[in-house]
Chain A
Amino acid sequence: MNLSAAIYSIRWLVRDTFRQARASGIFWLMLGVSALCVLLCLSVGARGPLTLGGDGEAAEFVSPRDPAVDPAKAAAQGVDVAGAEMSLAFGAVRLPLARDVRDGVRFLQLLLAGGVADAAGVLLALVWTAGFLPTFLEPSAASVLLAKPAPRWSLLAGKYLGVLAFVAFQAVVFVGGTWAALGLRTGVWDAAYLWCVPLLLVHFAIFFSFSTLIAVCTRSTVACVVGSLLFWALCWGMNYGRHVVVGLPDAKEMQGALSSAVEAGYWVLPKPADMNILLFDALDAGKHFGPNTAMRAARDGDAFAPEMSILSSLLFTVVMLFVAGRQFLTTDY
């Protein structure tokens, strides 16, 4: 099979996935969640200084609520006075901001990306798309497809890429929509927030490769849902646990089987907690949330290498897809 024919058939498998998503209602459900969040962002209003201090420099400002400071005097001396306010639900809820509007917007973006999209979003996307492959591989439907000359690996690759394209589309709508809505309402156009799209997609792709393997082996939606959620929890526990161990005061003295097992588990399995650190770093979340001791210790020490963490997780994805492909090639229909 030449490359153009492979691309042509994969393109149709991506199209098939989008149709499947629309027919199952998942397409509209996810768009609905995005629409709600965009609406929430459109309801945001802001008043006060956009940014205190320039980019990359430590801002000097005083709070108007500080009894020891006279805001008028401070302003006259050229010191910025923080006094921003953010409103939600078209002004129904008003929140005073400790700093500037940019800070308030960043906090909202953090809640949207870290809370809605990363934690709940990836898991919900895994659950909602878990049935796509088992339905595709159901024998009476798959037999006709497998009797076509398109190689089995390309069918599996096409469907995997189709689900990825669907989730990427939804991630772009969610992140792009909320970013644009917040920008329009507040004037804050923070491009760092857009890093969420590739990070969320990589996070999803890693765990969907495991779901793909379960689908090929069992052809069961329930097994895919339960299996991928349990696996995600296992990986998160392994990832977090390793950072806790590394952060222990006497970690360097720890030797032997336990230490090796923890390191092996950490490097072999995907690292959802590390993805979380990367997302929070991209959004500069340290200003808003108190540091998680274990994560911070790993990050600030030499135990966390972002590139190696992502690369090893992607390697896991490649291995899962390879094993799934091998299994699919040898499965009788």
Chain B
Amino acid sequence: MTAAPVAEFHGATKVYRVGLSRRLIRAVIDVRFRVEAGEVFGLLGPNRAGKTTLVKLLLSLCRPTAGSVTRLGRPASDASTLARVGYVHENPAFPRYWDAAGLLAYYGALSLMHEPDVRRRVPELLERVGLADRCREPIAGFSKGMVQRLALAQALLNDPDLLVLDEPAEGLDLLGRRLVHEVIGERRKQGKTVLLVSHALSDVAALCDRVAVLVGGSVTHLGSLESLTRGAESRPLEQAVQDLYAGAVA
């Protein structure tokens, strides 16, 4: 377990310029929080709240316009720490010409893993995500749920200290959702950190130790979900979150 925060946003701001008119879009504005080692941290927020941009900043897929981001104690721009990170994209698109086992071996190489470790991990993980019997079939024939399971397997390949899951249960059936829950539970037991981005409030409530609620690019709540429902007027969690979304939007 790492003593330093696994992820830290220091006033991170990301502004995009879009279209011919170079219109400014403020995706993330002055975000400050840290994700501690060993915790399961949730990112909640309505569509276009900036959750995925925050994940991209953490993974150095894009660079902050202002502020800074650290990952595993190093600046996010330092790619070496990515060897200890696993990532499930919100809409994974893998090269359709690979089969599942080949794709994992390919990603293992790009994760700079040792070849024997890759050979050992690939069958283990395919078994874990329930794709062992389909491992030599081209991905082109996979359903969305199977692709999502494969995405989970590739993220776990390097046994990451930080697992970033962006809508991991999207397209999964009940068994698949249970698999995601089990994986997150296992990571927690091993003292690893998970950053979970999800719209599914029930998942976040069941799995996360703390959450950040993002609305309009800013953090409007940071702490446990239960803390949202405490206070003078006691209300159901779902209502509290909805109010938070609506209030900030208004």
Contacts and interface: CB of A to CB of B under 8 A. Distances in A.
Interface of A: 1, 5, 8-9, 11-13, 15-16, 19-20, 22-24, 135, 138, 140-141, 143-152, 155, 330, 332-333
B112 A333 contact: no
Those 4 A-B pairs whose CB atoms lie nearest each other, nearest first: A23-B97, A332-B62, A12-B109, A140-B93
Interface in B78-104: 79-83, 85, 87, 89, 91-98, 102
Given A145-B110, A333-B61, A140 B95 contact: no
Interface of B is mostly: mixed
A147 B96 contact: no
Interface centre among B61, B82, B115, B164, by most chain A C-beta atoms within 10 angstroms, is B61
B93 A149 contact: no
A42 B35 CA distance: 69
Given A5-B112, A149-B83, A149-B112, A16 B89 contact: no
**Secondary structure class of chain A's binding surface, majority of residues:** helix
A291 B80 CA distance: 58
B59 interface: yes
B92 to A, nearest CB: 6
B89 A8 contact: no
B91 A140 contact: yes
A8 B96 contact: no
Interface residues of B, number: 35
Given A13-B110, A144-B87, A149-B111, 7 more contacts: A135-B95, A140-B92, A140-B93, A147-B87, A147-B164, A149-B80, A333-B62
A93 B83 CA distance: 64
A5 B63 CA distance: 26
Interface of B: 16, 56, 59-63, 79-83, 85, 87, 89, 91-98, 102, 105-107, 109-112, 115, 151, 154, 164
Nearest to B138: A23
Contacts of A16: 95, 98, 106
Residue among B106, B154, B164 with max Cβ neighbours from chain A (10 Å): B106
14 contacts: A1-B112, A5-B112, A9-B109, A19-B98, A22-B97, A144-B92, A144-B94, A144-B151, A149-B79, A149-B80, A149-B83, A155-B110, A330-B63, A332-B63
A1 B78 CA distance: 11
Nearest to B108: A12
Contacts of A24: 97
Contact of A140 (B56, B89, B112, B164): B89
A12 B60 CA distance: 23
A149 B97 contact: no
Given A8-B109, A11-B109, A16-B106, A147 B97 contact: no
Nearest to A154: B110
A20 B95 contact: yes
A138 B93 contact: yes
Contacts of B93: 138, 140-141
